[in-house]
Structure 1
Amino acid sequence: MKLDSKIYVAGHSGMVGSAIVRRLHQLGYKNIVTKTSKELNLIRQDEVEKFFEEERPEFVFLAAAKVGGIYANDTFPAEFIYNNLMIEANVIHNAYKYKVKKLLFLGSSCIYPKMAAQPIKEEYLLTGPLESTNEAYAMAKLSGIALCKFYRKQFGCNFISVMPTNLYGINDNFDLKTSHVLPALIRKFHEAKINGDQQVVIWGTGKPKREFLFVDDLADACVHLMKNYNNEMHVNVGTGKDLEIGKLANIIKDVVGYDGDIINDLTKPDGTPRKLLDVSLLKSTGWTSSTNLKEGIEKVYHWYVSQYHK
């Protein structure tokens, strides 16, 4: 992938896609193609084919997807499976048809079996039942990985897949109903600080462990893999480290500068006790994450405050 190669980033306005565009610009790539959903509806087969016929990108980062939290996944499963299947099928098929040199597909660690052994190795995929609340999304993402695998097998396409862990970063979702735990805690502590609240309530015991990756690190890993990895096996992308949600809450409390108390609501569920990726394969390619958790949270909090005041 040369600095003047034509690169299409699908989903450039989302947290992951915008981070990939940001990283490509930082590295000096000049010929980056992006389209908003109004300019190009990836669910429409005719629009996607016309785009590839006209633009002829050489490299594709497929970060476009319909995403959401537990409530959205469980309430709108038909939309999650249909939209994501259509996006993946249209982009991957036309990448083959119009001879894209290489495509990178973004999966998600939430599509591993619900009770997978820890840390989760790449080969654990499809070895057990999925989490029921996001089954529709997971099945669509599994299909995306399969598309890359079988277009490689039948047509020799250099299509690869990556499996990121829990992400956070600039352009994250801070809606308390639909966001994930880290951005939700940032918002909770910030609003408690502004409002002078004496306590912040977090769900469950705070004992479950989670792994968190700064999205700009993911973007760097994606560019690295696009340049250096060409195998069929999908690649886990994470830090290889996790921590208890209670400890995460205390880090965010410190970053925000909130001096009240943290209260555990024991009537709420803890969820899966642990979800940690094995990143041995990624490390073997020569890449490790570089942003420590507190540093990443500080960057996100500064960005959130600037957007909040706007």
Structure 2
Amino acid sequence: MCQAHRQQYGFDAISAMPTNLFGPNDNFDPEKSHVLPGMISEAIRICVNNDLREKNDIEIVVWGTGTPSREFLHCDALADAALFFMQNYSDPSHIKVGSGKEITMKQLAELVKEMVGFEGEIQYDPSKPDGTMKKLLDSSKLVAMGWDPKIKFKEDLVDAYQRYLDNFEVEDFLTCSD
């Protein structure tokens, strides 16, 4: 559509394709969220339920084998990239926006476990789908233009966790089924 508007009306539109995004206003719903906010909310829910029910054998279950990798980008980095495009890019072809870094589902689960202070085990359920084994965008065109994604994944992950804690009550964690 951007290319058609460019050709027909001379409109300098840019089509950007971002990788998996996270950040403020993420959807933490246990049944509708994406993987990163879903892992955070599930780990917190299990920790709260574990503390209240004094169960010592609770575990976090991650779908699949834990081997697929994903690329994540904080939404603020996408906003930064959008400003960069407006100032430095005017080509008709779309441009990919990513961090250039990937993390396996196992590594992500371990980071979330550590962040929320969960002391139980992480189990992987290979009867559930892994999904695509690798999702990493080639953002080299954007980086070659001079954009720096300024990746601080662990800090941004902690920020997402804190936002979740700031916006939900303990009772919200208990409404999820075990």
Deviates more, 1:266-275 or 1:195-204: 195-204
1:150 matched residue in structure 2: 4
Counterpart code for 1:248: L
After superposition, the C-alpha distances for 1:247-289 in whole angstroms (9 at most, x for unaligned) are 1100111111111110111211111111110011111221121
The Cα shift of 1:151 comes to 1.1
Give CA deviations for 1:140-191 in whole Å, capped at 9, x if unaligned.
Answer: xxxxxxx110111122110111000001111000111111100000001111
Root mean square deviation of aligned Cα: 1.2
Amino acid at match of 2:98: G
For 2:118 and 2:86, the matched residues in 1 are separated by 41
Q: Deviation above 3 Å: which 4+ runs of structure 1? A: none
Is 1:218–2:78 an aligned residue pair? yes
Question: 1-side partners of 2:127 and 2:2: how far apart?
Answer: 43
Q: 2: distance between equivalents of 1:220 and 1:309?
A: 32
1:166-185 aligned within 5 A = 166-185=20-39
Amino acid at match of 1:200: I
1:1-310 mapped onto 2 (5 Å cutoff): 147-196=1-50, 198-309=58-169
Length-normalised TM-score, structure 2:
0.88
Structure 2: how far apart are the matches of 1:255 and 1:235? 33
- Structure 1 SS opposite 2:29: coil
Q: C-alpha deviations, 1:212-270, integer Å up to 9, x for none?
A: 11111111111111122111111100011111101110011111111111011121111
Which residue number corresponds to residue 176 of structure 2?
none
Supply the distance in 2 between the matched residues of 1:204 and 1:274 (Cα, whole angstroms).
13
Residue of structure 1 in register with 2:173 after alignment: none
Matched length: 164
Distance 1:173 1:245 in 2: 19
Q: Which runs of 5+ in 1 are unaligned?
A: 1-146
Q: Share of identical aligned residues, percent?
A: 44
Superimposed CA distance per residue, residues 10-59 of structure 1 (whole angstroms, 9 cap, x where no aligned partner): xxxxxxxxxxxxxxxxxxxxxxxxxxxxxxxxxxxxxxxxxxxxxxxxxx
Runs of 5+ in structure 2 lacking a partner? 171-178
